[in-house]
Structure 1
Amino acid sequence: MAKSLLIISRQAPWAGPSAREALDIALAGGAFDLPLGMLFLDDGVFQLAPGQQPVQLQQKNLASNLQALPMFGVEELFAASSSLQERGLAADTLSLPVQVLDDAALAALIDRFDQVVTL
């Protein structure tokens, strides 16, 4: 059986290539039926904010990549409750449905996966 992988995305979509790279890894892993999950942590939760206008920052829009995650079998999506609260984001307004986890649940989540990649 393939080892499970948790991808932790900690960067805002406009802060450099890390957010796109995390999504690319998730989509590639999903295409090969790798058991994986994706956690949006710290500024990474900004990727889930609705109504982004990346063109104004001369960036590419990540929305289509995010929306493709479930189609590629990446259905375990998580966000840190504290990260959402600190950035003024409400779980019911995000562009994707995610499981919102407190700090204790985050530790248990990370322990559940065989491998963890942080970008």
Structure 2
Amino acid sequence: MTQPEKSVAIINASAPLSKANAKDALDIALIFGSYEQAVSLYFLGEGVYQLVAGQQPEKVEQKDFLKTFAALEFYDIENIYVCHHSMIERGLTNHFSIENVQVLNRDDFSTSLHQHQTILRF
């Protein structure tokens, strides 16, 4: 009998430049990905701002860690989800800084999230 694949869901609920949480979540995702763990990224609440294209963190004297999202495909991190309700609350559109983001309603977001063995929230 084969063991089910362990999967990790990482919830990004923090604005990109307000705390280190957003960068920490991305770093953890890449670490899990480097060990070939199944990783999915979820964005909700203030975390949806991490996906906004055209941010300029250098204007607030921050390092642009958001460019690291481009590395996700090299780590086979392809399951990226955003909460549609969170986007609507913040007046955001589907113009994301990365490709292949799936916009999910609240129910589908929750269902997808709870299919993982481990859930980490940042």
TM norm structure 1? 0.94
- Identity among equivalent positions (%) equals 33
Q: Spell out the pairing of 1:1-119 with structure 2 (5 A cutoff).
A: 1=3, 2-91=5-94, 93-97=95-99, 98-119=101-122
TM norm structure 2? 0.92
CA distance in 2, matches of 1:15, 1:83: 18
Aligned AA (1:30): G
CA distance in 2, matches of 1:10, 1:62: 16
The Cα of 1:63 is off from its aligned counterpart by 2.6
Question: SS of the residue aligned with 1:69?
Answer: helix
* Count of matched residue positions in the alignment of Structure 1 and Structure 2: 118
**What 5-or-longer segments of structure 2 have no aligned partner?**
none
Query: After alignment, is 1-10 or 99-108 more displaced?
Result: 1-10
* 1:47–1:62 contact (8 Å) kept in structure 2: no
Alignment RMSD: 1.1
CA distance in 2, matches of 1:114, 1:43: 24
The Cα of 1:62 is off from its aligned counterpart by 2.3
* 1:9–1:38 contact (8 Å) kept in structure 2: yes
CA distance in 1, matches of 2:46, 2:9: 17
**What 5-or-longer segments of structure 1 have no aligned partner?**
none
Larger Rg: 2
CA distance in 2, matches of 1:63, 1:107: 25
The Cα of 1:113 is off from its aligned counterpart by 0.5
CA distance in 2, matches of 1:35, 1:56: 35
